[in-house]
Amino acid sequence: MQERPLVMITGATSGIGLACAKAFAAKGYDLLLIARREQRLQQLGKELQGQHSIEVTTLTVDLRQRQRLQELAHNHQPLLTKTAVLINNAGLARGLAPLHGGDVDDWEEMVDTNIKGLLYITRLVLPHMVEKNAGHIINIGSIAGRRVYPGGAVYCGTKFAVSGITEALRMDLHGTAVRVSTIDPGLVETEFSLVRFHGDTASAKKVYQNTRPLRGEDVAEAVLWTAERPKHVNVQEILIMPTDQAAPTMVHRHRSG
Ligand code: NDP
Ligand code: 8X3
């Protein structure tokens, strides 16, 4: 009997990652879900396993903790070997200050999560894909990895890095059957802005006010579609924007009321 493909999703407790977990679960994939908020993660795992005939494993870990990731990988070797799709989704923005007024702790969190965390987990999973000559890495980039905006120097820098890593990885894997894709969304209404503004709900709400942003589900559909193309088709990149957003700083606001 053929084993069911396993999909590993980082940042599964919220937003795009959560929507991906639900979308892949509904299609019968086994899941390995990663994030830091243990209770949310376990609850989600239970829910999805109850709703669908799938196996869900949850790993509570901070992707910045390289040592801990290595230990987990060592303890869960069979799951790493089984991983058919890795969705590198976990990430965040912190602050929107100009560089000369920026908070260095914010920078470190963005760089350590969005770039280094993505690299650490990819380094652990990818050798197994190369050995099997099968697999798919799907990175969640951003419009911010293609276009910059004021106050976004570091966040945009991390997403430009994701774009560069995606392209170079495809070259490293040239000649293997391992696919590499990036899905780059514009505004998606998730916890992203709440995190960016350190829990300031009023500022977060303003980002999505009187406009129609994407939903996590819109992005998850693109990710699922990308993963389910025939093996000889690699969707290299998708740029997916709200109709109301022509560019990072051009967001159409409808009149309220
Ligand atoms: P959310 O804040 O809703 O979700 C982020 C997820 O990442 C959470 O599940 C969070 O879980 C996890 N995460 C954050 N830091 C870590 C860490 N150190 N270790 C493990 N998990 C972590 O935001 P989105 O869903 O919007 O963001 C998902 C991705 O999409 C990010 O890479 C973001 O840059 C990108 N993106 C978002 C856009 C948007 O407008 N929302 C647009 C374009 C791209 P927990 O806190 O439990 O660890
Ligand atoms: C998130 C999109 O424009 O808020 O990557 O930076 S944006």
CA of 61 to the centre of ligand 2 (A): 24
Instruction: Give the closest ligand to the alpha carbon of residue 72.
Output: 1
Pocket test for ligand 1, best of 13, 31, 39, 114 (most atoms within 8 A of CB): 13
Ligand 1 atom at shortest distance from the alpha carbon of 144: 43
Does pLDDT of 88 surpass 80?
yes
139-172 pLDDT, tens per residue? 999 999 999 999 999 999 999 999 999 999 999 9
Query: Going edge to edge, which strands form the sheet with 30-35?
Result: 56-60, 30-35, 6-10, 83-88, 136-140, 179-185, 237-240
pLDDT greater than 90 at residue 46: yes
Catalytic residue among 120, 149, 155, 208: 155
Hey, how many other C-beta atoms are within 10 angstroms of the C-beta on 46? 12
Q: Say whether pTM exceeds 0.85.
A: yes
Active site residue 155: yes
Output the CA 210–ligand 1 centroid distance in Å.
Answer: 23
Q: How buried is 230 (Cβ within 10 angstroms: 0-12 exposed, 13-18 middle, 19+ buried)?
A: exposed
Question: Does the pLDDT of residue 83 top 60, yes or no?
Answer: yes
- Whether 185 lines ligand 1, by a CB cut-off of 6 Å, is yes
- The rounded percent of the chain whose pLDDT value lies above 90 is 97
Average pLDDT over residues 57-73: 97
Ligand 2 centroid, distance to 163 Cα (angstroms): 14
Q: pLDDT tens-digit profile of 99-146?
A: 999 999 999 999 999 999 999 999 999 999 999 999 999 999 999 999
Contact 24, 224 (CB under 8 A): yes
Residue 146 confidence (pLDDT): 98
Q: What is the DSSP string of 178-241?
A: -EEEEEEES-B-SSHHHHHTTT-HHHHHHHTTTS--B-HHHHHHHHHHHHTS-TT----EEEE-
Mean pLDDT to the nearest integer, 52-61: 98
- Over residues 198-209, the mean pLDDT reads 98
Of 132, 102, 118, 12, the C-alpha closest to 64 is 118
Residue bearing the CA closest to ligand 2, atom 4: 187
